[in-house]
Structure 1
Amino acid sequence: MKNSTHSQPINFQNKEELKRQIFKTLDFYYPSCMDYEKGGYINGFLVDGSINNTTTKHLVATSRYIYNFSIGVILGGTSWCLEAARHGIQFLNKHHLDKQHNGYFFEMNDLGVNNSAKMAYGHAFVLLASSIAYKAGVEEAREVLDNVYNVVETHFWDTEYEFYKDEWDESWTTLSSYRGQNANMHMCEAMITSYEATGEEKYLNKAYRLAKGVTRELADRSGGMVWENYTPEWQPDYQFNKNNTKDEFRPYGFIPGHQFEWSKLLMWLDRHKSEPWMLETAEELFRKGWEKGWDAKYGGIYFALSPEMKVIDKDKNYWVMAEAIAAASLLAAKTGNHEYWDFYNQLVTYSSEYLIDHEHGGWYKLLNRKNKRYSNVKSSPPKTDYHPVAAFYQAILALD
């Protein structure tokens, strides 16, 4: 399947162009994604924008849509962005929220609960969505922000190890033995966003603890890169999901994309609370992600590495490129080292050629090593292209 290419070179170091890219993505989804009949958003789209799933309502997708439309407001978008973000906050409150036990259901099928698990990963996105929506002017998002923060601190925070636990059942009675870095990473992102929205130090302190805990303590336990899956005592679990690199939330391996994502988070945190170890660690994670992950022959970043740091999944995933773009831009802004803009330009050039759909908008989800698409599905739940929207938003801030 041939990917669409773009004839005119795009200047990705131009803030107006990055803004245009963000709105082109929002325009791909809106207004088709608005489910006015049942509430919330439609999650499933083919490449050309036609809908292939009207019933799945995923907590992460609901939250990511709210994030996207809130960024639209912050970047000066028209009134529909605010209305679209508010629409999602209403659905969170009305349907994802468990009125009996509190917390948020992970997946709905129409208005019925399809997966009632209480997942830290999902709650991290509710925190991200409610804080950015509040910042964008959705007043009622504050109630969601306060509630979800209370839920994560009460049920997920592990006071002994100072990380977030991963998964409870519906009634908060059975806790999974699984522990993972992914939920903690997105919780860190949500805490920084909550701090920026409210100015309350408790969020910044929690983001700081998570960033240091994962990128220093946990990374040390697995040889300097962040492993994905852990035992209840937060030791790397090299058997869990063995060789299943395609798990959406708990992939097996060292994921180069997550090294870049932590690099981005450290530089974002550094804007508010700067310590020398942050830049040092961010550069180290970026370098390792690049050295182990960049495909010198076909371009793009490999998806997964074994415990021995050998490539075990050569596919190119859209979000990995987006996170690397964000990290490169923030490191360039922090260090003044032009090499990071060179990395940035390599990443955006690759993404523009193979991942960005210049015809319809949005990003293709997954390519093989030779940069060919596997299917004509543009967006299955919970994609929504939040990663590219967030990455270009960070790049806009870096260019400032």
Structure 2
Amino acid sequence: MTGWLGSPAHARWLETEGDGLLDFGRASVHPDGGFAWLSEEGTPELDRPVPLWVSCRMTHVYSLGHLMGRPDCGRLADHGVTALRGRFRDAEHGGWYAAVGADGPVSRDKTAYEHAFVVLAAASATAADRVGGRELLDEALGILLEHFWDDEHGMVREQWDEAWTTLDGYRGVNANMHTVEALLSAADVLDDASLRERAQRILTRVVHDLARGNDWRIPEHFDDTWTPVLDYNIDEPAHPFRPYGATIGHWLEWARLALHLRAALGVDAPSWLLDDARGLFDASVREGWAVDGADGFVYTVDWSGAPVVRERMHWVAAEATATAAAMHAATGEPEYDAWYRTWWQHVADHFRDTAHGSWHHELATDLSPSSVTWAGKPDTYHAFQATLIPRLPLTPTLAAALRDGLLA
């Protein structure tokens, strides 16, 4: 069968899908600032606190849309930048609140996961030449590197109190993964190799040390000495951000990030980046895909590789297509195009919501819409990026590549 990757006709299909996601997300503009959580039907839940991570992701998405020449996307990106420089920002202590409501912050702790997304949004807004984008990026990088970066361990710490006086004892890999994404983007937008070096330190520790040494099942949760806590949240296994066990979708994301770094480093890239990306990809297929008699990736597995939470998450399917495209770009091997076709067909058959738009964020094991972990459709970040990654080179990262006119 003719491959989809590199096909102009398939690229047009991806473009149409991406435009549909941009259209769906327009309803999320919150009149008080930022982007609201959307219901399954696409209705903004304006009484719900506005999460920082949602507003950052949508600012990033609409910055990319502007770079693609889509009308109104620049205005929506500006709406996001304004909220990040205003409503979410702690003007007294610096940094950003994780969620805000009508009366101000509803959570005053400062968290690395959300701050990584501020950097990503700011980098994309800077590439899109949006007003205030560069100032936001400079501030966000300053906060991230001053307060969250742990130079001794080459990782980011997780959570501070409002005034940056008390550091929580929890350490997490999820925040580090999105910090790698943000640092790689900022490095490309600013042409700052030092940011790429920090991303490489994180990738080395998580992928080459932790994943390779644990049958590719990446420990997600750690104490303040960076010792894995393998039973963390064993009583709340379906937690949206800190689930028990190993998270299949993250193996795919880490594999793709390793390939982006490898491409950026060129001849200086260590050989293990490709080898380990292949190992993570293969493990995600072996232990995650259709392992319980139905198509789809399970959410998590335990430390023997047995499924724990079997619901299918849209973001995992999106990352699977993107990582298959990246593996194919790095190797040219046809098996990755075959997996790419398989997973896009799965998305088209089960995740795309042809009635209300966007993608169902979660499916049950019978592939009907579910809400064990995710209710509604809070953002389009993973799905939208999945429509772009197959049409862009592995380096530079998305915003810089679009800025440079590299979209196929």
Confirm or deny a common fold (TM above 0.5): yes
Alignment map for 1:272-287 (pairs within 5 Å): 272-273=264-265, 274-287=269-282
| Higher mean C-alpha deviation, range 257-266 or range 231-240 | 231-240
Q: Aligned equivalents of 1:336 and 1:310: distance in 2?
A: 31
Which of 335, 338, 342 is the aligned partner of 1:346? 342
Q: What root-mean-square deviation, in Å, do the aligned CA atoms of Structure 1 and Structure 2 show?
A: 1.9
Q: Aligned equivalents of 2:283 and 2:374: distance in 1?
A: 30
Q: Aligned equivalents of 1:379 and 1:392: distance in 2?
A: 23
User: Is the aligned partner of 1:185 residue 2:177?
Assistant: yes
What is the DSSP-based 3-state SS (H/G/I as helix, E as strand, rest coil) of the residue aligned with 1:272?
A: helix
Deviation at 1:225, TM superposition (A): 2.5
Q: Aligned equivalents of 1:363 and 1:51: distance in 2?
A: 16
- Corresponding residue number in structure 2 for 1:394: 389
Deviation at 1:52, TM superposition (A): 3.5
Which of 256, 271, 279 is the aligned partner of 2:248? 256
- Corresponding residue number in structure 2 for 1:68: 61
Aligned CA distance change for structure 1 residues 219 and 332 (closer, same or farther; 3 Å): same
Deviation at 1:393, TM superposition (A): 1.4
Deviations 1:165-188 (A, max 9, x none): 001111111111101100000000
Deviation at 1:16, TM superposition (A): 2.1
- Corresponding residue number in structure 2 for 1:45: 39
Deviations 1:280-327 (A, max 9, x none): 010000000110001153211011001221111111000011111110
Deviation at 1:358, TM superposition (A): 2.6
Alignment map for 1:217-228 (pairs within 5 Å): 217-228=209-220
Which of 124, 127, 135 is the aligned partner of 1:132? 124
Deviation at 1:90, TM superposition (A): 0.4
- Number of equivalenced pairs: 385
Aligned CA distance change for structure 1 residues 111 and 20 (closer, same or farther; 3 Å): farther
Which of 265, 270, 284 is the aligned partner of 2:262? 270
- Corresponding residue number in structure 1 for 2:308: 312
Deviation at 1:262, TM superposition (A): 0.5
Q: Aligned equivalents of 1:42 and 1:379: distance in 2?
A: 13
The one-letter code matched in structure 1 to 2:169 is S
Q: Aligned equivalents of 1:371 and 1:228: distance in 2?
A: 27
What is the DSSP-based 3-state SS (H/G/I as helix, E as strand, rest coil) of the residue aligned with 1:41?
A: coil
Deviations 1:329-353 (A, max 9, x none): 0001110001000011111000110
Q: Aligned equivalents of 2:271 and 2:367: distance in 1?
A: 38
Per the normalisation by structure 2, the TM-score is 0.90
Q: Aligned equivalents of 1:156 and 1:42: distance in 2?
A: 27
Per the normalisation by structure 1, the TM-score is 0.92
The one-letter code matched in structure 1 to 2:80 is G
Aligned CA distance change for structure 1 residues 305 and 376 (closer, same or farther; 3 Å): closer
User: Is the aligned partner of 1:23 residue 2:19?
Assistant: yes
Structure 2: where are the runs of 5+ without partners?
Answer: 394-406
Which of 285, 288, 312 is the aligned partner of 2:283? 288
Alignment map for 1:93-242 (pairs within 5 Å): 93-242=85-234
- Corresponding residue number in structure 2 for 1:334: 330
Q: Aligned equivalents of 1:257 and 1:278: distance in 2?
A: 18
Q: Aligned equivalents of 1:351 and 1:282: distance in 2?
A: 23
Deviations 1:375-400 (A, max 9, x none): 5999648x302011112211111595
Check the 8 A contact 2:362/2:373 in 1, yes or no. no
Check the 8 A contact 1:44/1:379 in 2, yes or no. no
Give % identity. 29
